[in-house]
């Protein structure tokens, strides 16, 4: 099985971290192919950066998805998830949706830890779009950039554990999701000190992508996820234009 792991931002550090976690979670026979955005933000933390990342994601999928059996979008905002499902005829999973769905099978109420108050509404919107907002016990936003840098993670670990304890004690969470691609692999480190199951999206996403690929579901032929119609596109990458059955037009010619 060939699994495409898409990091829509431009940070090779993040790509390396999610690849290590994906490789640890994947079955031995699964080949994990990591790719990094060619343009856009190093770290996506605003709606505008997220909009740019949607284009970057489609660009990566058009170039690298052919020949793969499934895709994991390894950005915690599930960038361009529905567009990717419309565009491709293979399963596509987003790491936050995957973590939420997995959490719902482990506990009645889910706690969510996010890094940055500014992005909290974006995560809440994603949970609502997945139809799972009513399963969430509470949210905790941590103001720290420590997880996005290499080196000592004791500060980030302490803040995360405090948020987990608050979600359990104050909100009744029975399972906690650590959002953010940089949280890949962290639950294994913190689980011995946490009173409830901890999940990260990369591990959940990889295993769900493998499951869906093995099921080999049919591509919808009707509805909003049916194959893309023929369209003339202007000044987009040829690989993207190919998914619309047309070569793109260059306005400069």
Question: Could you report the per-residue pLDDT of 115-141, keeping only the tens digit for each?
Answer: 889 999 999 999 999 999 999 999 999
User: Could you give the CA distance from residue 44 to residue 42 in angstroms, rounded to a whole number?
Assistant: 7
- 147 — pLDDT class (breaks 50, 70, 90): low
Cα separation, 210 vs 204, in Å, equals 10
Q: What secondary structure does DSSP assign to 62-79, as a single string?
A: HHH-TT-SEEEE-STT-T
What dihedral do alpha carbons 170, 175, 179, 185 form, nearest 10°? 130
| 82 token code pair | 């529905």
- pLDDT digits over 42-51, tens only? 989 899 999 9
Closest CA to 169 of 211, 137, 201: 137
- Mind listing the domains of the chain with CATH numbers? 2-95+206-243 (3.40.50.12500), 96-201 (3.40.50.12500)
Whether the pLDDT of residue 248 is over 60: the answer is no
Token pair of 208, please? Answer: 């769900």
Q: Is the pTM of this model over 0.85?
A: yes
Q: What DSSP state is assigned to residue 249?
A: B
């Amino acid at each position: 099985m060939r699994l495409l792991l898409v990091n829509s931002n431009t940070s090779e550090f993040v790509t390396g971290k999610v690849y290590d976690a994906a490789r640890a979670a994947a079955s031995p026979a699964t080949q994990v192919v990591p790719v990094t955005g060619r343009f856009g933000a190093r770290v996506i933390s605003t709606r505008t950066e997220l909009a740019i990342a949607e284009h970057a994601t489609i660009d990566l999928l058009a170039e690298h998805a052919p020949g793969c059996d499934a895709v994991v979008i390894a950005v915690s905002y599930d960038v361009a998830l529905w567009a990717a499902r419309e565009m491709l005829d293979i399963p596509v999973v987003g790491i936050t949706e995957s973590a939420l769905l997995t959490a719902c099978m482990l506990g009645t109420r889910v706690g969510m830890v996010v890094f940055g108050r500014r992005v909290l509404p974006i995560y809440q919107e994603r949970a609502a779009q997945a139809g799972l907002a009513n399963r969430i016990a509470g949210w905790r936003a941590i103001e720290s950039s420590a997880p996005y840098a290499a080196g000592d993670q004791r500060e980030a670990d302490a803040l995360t554990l405090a948020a987990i304890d608050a979600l359990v004690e104050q909100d009744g969470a029975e399972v906690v999701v650590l959002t953010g691609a940089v949280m890949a692999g962290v639950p294994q480190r913190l689980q011995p000190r946490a009173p409830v199951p901890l999940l990260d999206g990369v591990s959940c996403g990889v295993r769900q992508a493998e499951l869906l690929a093995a099921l080999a579901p049919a591509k919808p032929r009707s509805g909003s996820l049916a194959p893309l119609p023929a369209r003339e596109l202007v000044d987009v990458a040829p690989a993207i234009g190919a998914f619309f059955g047309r070569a793109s037009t260059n306005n400069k010619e």
